[in-house]
Amino acid sequence: MIARVDAAVGCSERRASRVRRALIALALCAVGTACGYSTGLSVAERYQSIGIAVFGNDSFERDLERPLYDEISRAIRNYADAPIVDPEHADVVVRGTIKTYHRRPGIRSPENQLLETAVIIDVEAGLYKRGSEAPLHGLIHAPGSVGYVIGPTQNEMDARNRDLRLIAERLVLDLFAPMN
């Protein structure tokens, strides 16, 4: 009998604890929105639409342009509130060039076998008014490096894709950051 009462008390204490946690989470949400905190970039206040040009590629690695375009598009959709439209109709256009792509000499075993290396990609981009040849705020230089373990799987492709994603996010955050 006493065990049942103790179990019931423990159960009600757990419920009360859950309710307290839920109330605290609700209060934090209310405070976060009350102070004007926002998780996105307020791009639409400055630009009604964004275009993305396919980047040039000065590196010796082929077929990087499309995955970078996709990652920049994803980053703009995730962080900005302005729609992506055709570059010919956009208020501003993101343009740039993939400057370099190479592999870093990596870590070797005592038998001189390569165990780990990295993909290093360097991209330069700017935000341009439609039809303009001069960037609005100068060019942004975004180098990236992602290491990977040598193995039987597609580790280099995964590292390349992670590097392009990080570079795209950095470019979008830097290009569309509010200028004071």
What's residue 145's pLDDT? 94
pLDDT classification of 12: cutoffs 50, 70, 90: low
The predicted model scores a pTM of 0.75
Closest to 134 in 3D by CA, of 88, 95, 171, 107 = 95
Q: What is the pLDDT of residues 49-81, one digit of tens each?
A: 999 999 999 999 999 999 999 999 999 999 999
Specify the long-range contacts of residues 127-131, CB closer than 8 Å, at least 24 apart.
Answer: 127/92, 127/93, 127/94, 127/175, 127/176, 128/92, 128/93, 128/94, 128/95, 129/91, 129/92, 129/93, 130/51, 130/87, 130/88, 130/89, 130/90, 130/91, 130/92, 130/93
Q: Which residue has the higher pLDDT, 152 or 113?
A: 113
Label residue 31 by pLDDT band (50, 70, 90).
Answer: low
Q: How would residue 5 be classed by pLDDT, with cut points 50, 70 and 90?
A: very low
